[in-house]
Structures are given as C-alpha cells and as structure tokens.
Structure 1
Amino acid sequence: MVERRLGRGLDFFLSGSTEQASVGESVALLDVQALLPNPHQPRREFSAQELEDLAASIRASGVLQPILVRLVGGRHQIIAGERRWRAAKAAGLERIPALVREISDDQAAVFGLVENLHREDLNAIEKARAFKKIQELCSGNQEEVARQVG
C-alpha cells in the first residue's frame, strides 16, 4: 500500500513508474499522442493565446497537476485536464502525468462537466450545455444536479 500524503512531488512522476494511489486509481506518465479527448467536454473553443501561454509555462516548469483519465476500450480517455493535454502537446512533451481512475461513463461525464463549470472562462452557451447534460445524467433530479455541481 502506498503512503498517502499531500502532494506527490516531481520525483514521483519523474520515476516513470505506475503506482497505486488508492482503490481504483493509479498514477502514470502517458503518451500524449495516445490519449482520447472527453466527448463530454463542454468547452468548444480553446483560446490559442491561452494555450500557448500554458504551453510556455509547461516548457518552463512541466505539468504541475496530473490530468484525470480512465481506460475505455484499451485507451486512456481524458476526464479532466484537456487544456493541459493540448498545451503539453503544443510544448512538445511526449508524456504527461495522469491519474488513472476506474469510473463509469456517467461519472466521467459529470466529473468533466463539473470541473469545467467551476472555471470562469466558459461562455454562457458552454455553461448552459454543461448544466443540461448534467441534468440529463441525473435523470432531471435538480437536487442531484445541485449536489454534483456543488
């Protein structure tokens, strides 16, 4: 069993190992070209300038927070962190740190939508689509939507 502590430090990711984080989770360095984007990503527009700024930061300091992925049909699908993934590719990285989690299709959709809803730069249309999708996934239950979104 892995010792749980706040933060893993860069050495953890630089070692190149896959390690169990908790039940149903592992951490790995994944090939950026092999990852699949999240089909439930509410963000339809990615600012080229913001991605380039993030890519410059990644070139200087690396990826500071792992992306969240799950296995789908033998490939890793991004649940959260698509901007980091796109910027890592633009920065020329071959691998990106990722937390691999076993979760259902509905959970993956909700996680990705909620993560983006808490960002300030989604436009009104993207937010409306995200809320609508979460409501569909929660069978129209407004209390469940509120619980999921926070």
Structure 2
Amino acid sequence: MVNKNNKGLGRGINAIFQDIEDPDLEQSAVEDLPLEEIRPNPYQPRKTFDEAALADLAASIKTTGVFQPIIVRKSISGFEIITGERRFRASKLAGKTTIPAIVRSFDDPAMMEIAVLENLQREDLTPLDEAQAYDTLIKKLNLTQAEVSKRLGKSRPYIANYLRLLTLPVSVKTMLNDNQLSMGQARTLLSLKDKKQIPAMAKKVVAENMTVRQLEKLINELNAGAKKPKPKAKVKSPYLRASENQLGDRFGTKVNIAQTQKGKGKIEIDFGDPNDLNRILALLDVNLD
C-alpha cells in the first residue's frame, strides 16, 4: 500500500504505517465513508494540486472506483484525512458520494508528520510545497533543522536551501510554482545583496531564458558593483589643520575648513544655542541691532 521508494526519508512513512501494511488488518478496517463527512488534513503542506492530473484520476475512479483506501481519523464532527487527499478530491470530481477509508487514531503531531512525509514522497511536489513541509515540521513540532535533517535522511544544507525559498517575494514564488523559474534559478536569485532587485531580476531571467550559470555571473557582477568602496575623504594639508585649530581656539568651538574645487572653500563654525551664536558674532564684530 505504501510506496517502498521513500526517496531517502530516513525513518520514513513506512515505519509509521507498518501496522497498515498488514493485508488482513487493512481489509478488515476498510469502510465506506460519506464524502460530505470528510475534511482535508488541516496540516496538509501541499498547496497546489495538478487539475489535469486530478481530472484523469477522477475519470479512472468514475470507471473503476477507488482501489486504495484513504486514511482518516475521527474528529469532533466527521473525519479528517491523514493521507489520500488527491483520491478524496478526485472522488468528489467523479460525482461519488462515498469513499473507502481506514480509520486510525493519531494525535496532531503524528498526523502532521504523516501528512508531511507522505507528500515528500511524491515526485510532483513543487519546491515551495516541499519547503513548506519542512517549515511545518520545524514550527509545529518544535524541531531544529538538524533534527528534521536526521529524521528525513536529508542533509542539513538541503533542508536549509529549501527553507530559504520561503523568503522569496510573492511574485517570484508564483513564477516558481508555475515552473517559469527553476529551483536553481530561485536559489541563485536569493544571493542578490539588494533584495529589492529580486522581482525585476526574476522577470529578466524568464524573458531572456537565462541559465543558472548566466544568472550567477550577472548577480556576481551586481554584487561586486554594490561593494565599491566609497571615495576616501581628501587629507587636509597641515596649513588647513593649523588654521582650524587657531580659529577653534579663537571662537571656543569647533571649526571646519573645507576646500572645494578650483581653490575655493568654506569655513563652518559650530555653535550650541542662540546665546552661543551671539557670542561668536560679537567676536566677529558683527552687530545685528
């Protein structure tokens, strides 16, 4: 019943479902449940379902029925799907009123982990759905990236790279989900130092059909340009520094002499308040009366 190819998911869903894999137990536990009493798994990480694939599955179910029961748990009102939401959705599309199901008792953490693991085994999971699955395990089960890595048999950098996709701007996430951008292109876009440039750069990638290598080169150039050092302030001549010191002593405050183009310049004299200004003006023999 469970796909044996767990794609390296460590402990994996097979271990969780080992009781379900007993054929006798499975057959005795199957019952037809009304579709109207079943609700999707609230912890379902998958946000997108291929409508064409659902239509094909619905056509098959309409003709031959559902061979593989879904797994549900009893809730306060009706049932909640643990695994098998595609079959549930396709059955509704096919006009069915009931679906074969196995009722199991799972608490919220177990239900969440099973939903995530089952989805991670599907090859049609989008990069963002996979990223959301890891994020769900971390936040809802209070796991670290290292713990998720060990639990699923994935490297920590692998988990981290997917989680970073969740920080993409919404418009870029849409492009990724629509297969306009690849996983590699999306990850490369995240290396832009000026994050505000990401949406425009994503559009450029699609419009020019850029490869990951081309994108990396362009972003490296942009990032290098952003690192250009600010021009160093010109070193003042000993004459100007000495003049500043003498004027500072004369007025009892800080004085700055700045030299501009073609030998021109300006003198800036700091003052603390109106009284201080009047004191300096008096020293300059400036009478405003």
Change (3 A) 1:43 1:93: same
**What's 1:22 paired with?**
none
TM-score (ref. length: structure 1): 0.78
Match of 2:111 among 99, 108, 112: 108
Structure having the higher strand fraction is 1
Show CA shifts across 1:87-126 (max 9, x none): 0111111110111100101111111111001101111111
**What's 1:74 paired with?**
77
1:110/1:137 contact within 8 Å kept: no
Give percent identity, aligned residues only. Answer: 40
What SS class does the counterpart of residue 120 from structure 1 fall into?
A: coil
Change (3 A) 1:148 1:85: farther
Instruction: Flag structure 2 segments of 5+ consecutive residues without an equivalent.
Output: 1-20, 154-289
Return the alpha-carbon distance in structure 2 between the equivalents of residues 8 and 123 of structure 1.
34
Higher RCO structure (Cα 8 Å, ≥6 apart): 1
**What's 1:46 paired with?**
49
Show CA shifts across 1:40-61 (max 9, x none): 1111111211110000111122
1:138/1:144 contact within 8 Å kept: no
Aligned 1:1-150 pairs, distance under 5 A: 6=23, 19=28, 26-142=29-145, 144-146=147-149, 148-149=151-152
2:45/2:136 contact within 8 Å kept: no
Question: How many residue pairs are counted as aligned between the two chains?
Answer: 133
What SS class does the counterpart of residue 122 from structure 1 fall into?
A: coil
Q: Radius of gyration: which is bigger?
A: 2
Q: CA deviation at 1:134?
A: 1.2
Change (3 A) 1:7 1:149: farther
Instruction: Flag structure 1 segments of 5+ consecutive residues without an equivalent.
Output: 13-18, 20-25
User: CA-atom RMSD, angstroms?
Assistant: 2.2
1:56/1:91 contact within 8 Å kept: yes
What SS class does the counterpart of residue 108 from structure 1 fall into?
A: helix
